[in-house]
Structure 1
Amino acid sequence: MEAVLRSHCDEQHPHQAEDFHGKHEENGRLSAGIKKDIEKLYEAVPQLVNVFKIKEKIGEGTFSSVYLATAQLQTGHEEKMALKHLIPTSHPLRTAAELQCLTVAGGQDNVMGVKYCFRKNDHVVIVMPYLEHESFLDILNSLSFEEVREYMFNLFKALRRIHHFGIVHRDVKPSNFLYNRQLKQYALVDFGLAQGTPDTKIELLKTAHCEDQQEDSVHHSVQRSVFGERNFNVYSSTYQENSSTKLIKQSKMIDVSSRKLVTKKKIISTKAVSNGAARKAASACPSNLTCDCYATDRVCSVCLSRCQQVAPRAGTPGFRAPEVLTKCPTQTTAIDMWSAGIVFLSLLSGRYPFYKASDDLTALAQIMTVRGSRETIQAAKTFGKSVLCTQVVPAQNLRTLCEKLRGTHSSCMRSQDEVPSKAGNDSALPDKLCAPEPLGKQIQQLKSFQEGDGALEMKATDMKGWDQVPDEAYDLLDKLLDLNPATRITAKEALLHPFFKDMKL
């Protein structure tokens, strides 16, 4: 550290106190909350005071906060760096695994590397190069088609790199793939949710995965289940409705996450019958019986007797692959490729976020509106899942869908006076689609949205190549959004796709 960075407490800088106060004078323009966060960070990791001037807070997530800072180099120049402060409750193995991902796979092929790491007790700060980048939402509808092609090519380079080391990122999305439009620089960041493949070269990911499985087995009673269901296993199979309770009626297409049990006097205690007792009682249920609780507000003995499934659900809603939504226990690097496909879908359609669902069931229904219900059901069978749908939903043509949404389709080319320009920060699916509704109604909303004022209007002079999108683009998109993870295109294969035929690896 001393060989690279010039400490503010060196002999050349005797006024450490002045420098420290100078930081806080610079932070005077920041909000009181951010200013306090920066002060707390200096207090938690005092080594930072001697090395960095923290300028501002540039990001905040569930597991960490990111700050922009400058470091004084021995050459006399200042260098901008990003400081990622991991929350103290992060498991040490998880923190170490993230660091190992950065040090082993990072630093090349558009994967963020790490410069230094500071620790004081349970506070860890990872120092990384700072890449000035644009907001995906701000530039989405100003990107040319060629820029989109370069963007996806560089994203696949980053994914090929990490997948080579057996790293599954699990949270691929635009905000985790930094893009400097002017310099054409890219960086895949945030490995806080990363997991390893069975043959991963990141040893700590193997350990962290085992630790995660142990925690899942210990906390199985509170494990979030597929489709975001609440835990209704607190009632025995002989539970009957009494005069003090009533059940809210459900439609045929149920959002199981919104089930509620209403009482006139007080909520029934969930401790009345434990999960263990309910499952023990249900374990005597004959295995040849079929479930009779579908679309009802109870859990039958057959369902109670089934072993609970434990599978990772990490990731950002709207970018989760079908095998994640259906809680498939075997998840591979293919889930990153699905997420990349959703990014590509947003770029081609000009809509971000493309999917915006409140729960996993709605998210799966939204996928069906684009990829088709039969196709989704058939794909689910390949990885051991059974998906039920009350109606047949046909798959949509990806070119037609994207062109309509972007406004480059012949039926959508209208004059500026006729159709007002639509902002690019809307989901491709209307907000109402996010609410639990019959699938047929969701399809109708999507169709009316595409054919109506939802289409973006573009002048012929502003096309930027969008009027000449080759078939190869939609062929690649189709392979990325393959519902079957076993046949979904890999990052290495994607880079060799005809869509990138004239680009150098």
Structure 2
Amino acid sequence: MSSVVTKQSEKLDASKQAADVDDIDECEATDIDEEKSDKYEMMESRADVPEQDREEMEEIINVFDGLENQYKLMEKIGEGTFSSVYKAEDLKYYDYINDWDIDSKGLTNQPTLEGSSNEGAISPIKRKPKFVAIKKIYATSSPMRILNELEILYLLRGIDTIAPLITALRNEDQVLLILPYYQHTDFRQFYSNFSYKEMSAYFRCLFSALTACEAMQVMHRDIKPSNFLFNVERKHGVLVDFGLAEHCSLPVPKNCPCASSDTANLARESYKDYEPALGYVKNDTRPSKRANRAGTRGFRAPEVLLKCPVQTTKIDIWSAGVILLSFLTKRFPMFNSKDDVDALMEIACIFGKNEMRQVAALHGCAFETNVTTLTEKRVNFRKLILWASCGSASIYKEKLMHKPSIEESVCLDFLERCLELDCNKRITACEAMAHDFLYLDDPTFPFSFQRNDANLDKPRFNSPSMENDSTETTQHFSRILKDGEDNDSSMQEISDLKRKRPSDSIDGNL
């Protein structure tokens, strides 16, 4: 009897060993199949990617050993002067605590399998893929610029409206920054149909980020819609791309009149005694002006265009104001200049030659032009916005007759505070966060704004002079906002004037 049991147990042991071998073979085959499947899925996912982008991603994988085990590059999602950005899947996401993820903060390691008797069993269920943005900084970038970006991102960590740095990789002169990937809506899809309350939510997130930068004395220097990723459904936005960011100059240089209140007041008064003289000063003894001109065309503040060395976080406030102007006029880009001189002329079309002379004098420059289509006085923002968004002179006149709503009045007040030519008078990010405009969508916010109806520009066409004034304003807007530059006489005069200039410098007279 015992021999039979022994034989049966030997048979069971043999069958068990055979089963174990089959299990091992099956597991090995499964691993190989999964590896082949992953490669096939990766090749299939890149099938629609342009060939040049595929080559760039393969080059990144070849340069950084082991990167393909951490991240699966999907596609190229952005490209700039100093870097390229790629979307990638984070393959090791669930192995770490990801405090940077605003969607699932505090998510820990993989949970155990439900109903499993093994306490240490790992759940094999397929999880939702998580994505990151991999920023490849070109080798031509200055090492100090790269170090500066890393230091600023570290300084601004922990703010939910600023994209944090997850990690950074380096191989010789190649540098990769790993950042969160944010689902967002393209600016061109929503800027023309946003309500005042939706604009309020947009700019509350933006100015929340700018307030954090201001507290750390950091200038972003490239505020524009593509660098503020806004999710329309969630009403949340994140500020990205600190490649051009800098710390404010400390100590503040004193070689510009705007640096101190005494010299600024003197400069504002000096422009009144200035005698216009087109051209350049012969044997000019003034020292040449050098200043940082970083930023995107159309979003640079006046002090940047005038080469002011005393630049502060106020330059980002101006850029945010330009974005708001695009929302209101339903025109993007609002300014589309080719160089700094064109940019100043575009600003002069709205603010007039009188205020442009004042701001030029504030920074030790002189503004003068022989373009006859520019007016001396500034254009009222409400008139500009109504004309740009109405589409016809008749509708423009009809809407101008009506009193603006409270929401419109609050929005225009905020716009004027952001687009203040004098950087010393421009609103700060901290002051902006207390403005009523940023809380139009919050019914619990205690509003303090009071509209002064006496100051409203409400025309009454009871006299021929007023009607003629309206017609003149309409013609002026037509010249500013005409789509075809070839038919625009003012742009032609600017081009003619530029050909007469010996250089593109704007250190002297304009």
With the shorter chain as reference, the TM-score category is: 0.5 to 0.7
Matched, 1:70 2:96: no
Question: Alpha carbons of 1:13 and 1:121: their partners in 2 closer, same or farther (altered >3 Å)?
Answer: farther
Is 1:60 the counterpart of 2:79? The answer is yes
Query: 1:149-168, aligned counterparts within 5 Å?
Result: 149-168=200-219
**Residue equivalent to 2:388:** 405
Contact 1:30 1:56 in 2 (8 A): yes
Q: Which position in structure 2 is the counterpart of 1:131? A: 182
Report the counterpart of residue 464 of structure 2 in structure 1.
none
Tell me how far 1:357 sits from its aligned partner: 0.8
Q: Give yes or no for contact 2:278–2:368 (8 Å, CA) kept in 1.
A: no
What aligned pairs does 1:277-316 form with structure 2 within 5 A after superposition? 294-295=278-279, 302-303=283-284, 305-316=285-296
Instruction: Tell me what 1:196 maps to.
Output: 247
Q: How far 1:411 moved relative to its partner? A: 3.8
**Aligned match for 1:28, one of 47, 59, 84:** 47
Distance 1:129 1:498 in 2: 31
- Identify the match of residue 179 of structure 1 among 225, 230, 247: 230
CA offsets, 1:15-68, max 9 Å, x none? 767645642332122111111111111122233211111110000001000011
The farther-off stretch of 190-199 and 484-493 is 190-199
1:495 aligns with 2:425: no
Matched, 1:119 2:170: yes
What is the CA-CA distance between 1:174 and the residue it aligns to?
Answer: 0.5
CA distance in 1, matches of 2:295, 2:196: 28
Say whether 1:479 aligns with 2:460: no
CA distance in structure 1 between the partners assigned to 2:142 and 2:158 by the alignment: 25
Q: TM-score, normalised by structure 1?
A: 0.65
Superposed CA deviations along residues 89-133 of structure 1, whole A, max 9, x for unmatched, are 111121111112222213414111111111111111111111111
Aligned to 2:488: none
User: Is the Cα–Cα contact under 8 Å of residues 276 and 368 in structure 2 kept in the other structure?
Assistant: no
Q: Distance in 1 between matches of 2:198 and 2:303?
A: 31
In structure 2, how many angstroms separate the alpha carbons of the residues matched to 1:501 and 1:181? 17
The C-alpha deviation readout for 1:159-216, integer Å capped at 9, x for no partner, is 001111111001000000000111222110111111111359xxxxx9xx9xxxxxxx
- Partner of 2:66, secondary structure, is helix
- Structure 1 residue 499, shift from structure 2 partner: 2.2
Task: For residue 94 of structure 1, give the secondary structure of its aligned residue in structure 2.
Answer: helix
Counterparts of 1:107 and 1:182, CA distance in 2: 23
In the alignment, the residues of structure 2 paired with residue 56 and residue 67 of structure 1 have an alpha-carbon distance, to the nearest angstrom, of 6
Label 1:111 to 1:13 Cα distance change in 2 as closer, same or farther (>3 A).
farther
Matched, 1:395 2:378: yes
- The answer to whether residue 39 in structure 2 is matched with residue 39 in structure 1 is no
What is the aligned partner in structure 1 of residue 122 from structure 2? none
1:362-396 deviation line (CA, Å, top 9, x unaligned): 11011011112111211222232222233643201
Name the residue aligned to 2:362. Answer: 382
Which ranges of structure 1 fall in alignment gaps of 5 or more residues?
1-11, 201-205, 210-289, 414-450, 458-465
Name the stretch that deviates more: 152-161 or 38-47.
38-47
Root mean square deviation, CA, Å: 3.1
Counterparts in 2 of 1:115 and 1:386: CA distance versus 1, 3 Å:
same
* Deviation (angstroms), 1:408: 9.0
Q: 1:292 to 1:353 in 2, by over 3 A?
A: closer
2:326 pairs with 1:342: no
Question: Could you tell me the TM-score, scaled by structure 2's length?
Answer: 0.64
Cα distance in 2 for partners of 1:404, 1:292 equals 32
Task: Tell me whether 106-115 or 27-36 shows the greater mean CA deviation.
Answer: 106-115
Change (3 A) 1:146 1:309: same
Contact in 1 for aligned 2:63/2:171 (Cα 8 Å): yes
The aligned amino acid for 1:135 is: D
Superposition pairs for residues 265-276 of structure 1, below 5 Å? Answer: none
Number of equivalences? 354
Over residues 270-311 of structure 1, what are the superposed CA-to-partner deviations in whole Å (9 max), with x where a residue is unaligned? xxxxxxxxxxxxxxxxxxxx999954xxx77513x5422210
Q: Does the aligned pair in 2 maintain the 1:197–1:332 contact within 8 Å?
A: yes
SS of the residue corresponding to residue 346 of structure 1 reads helix
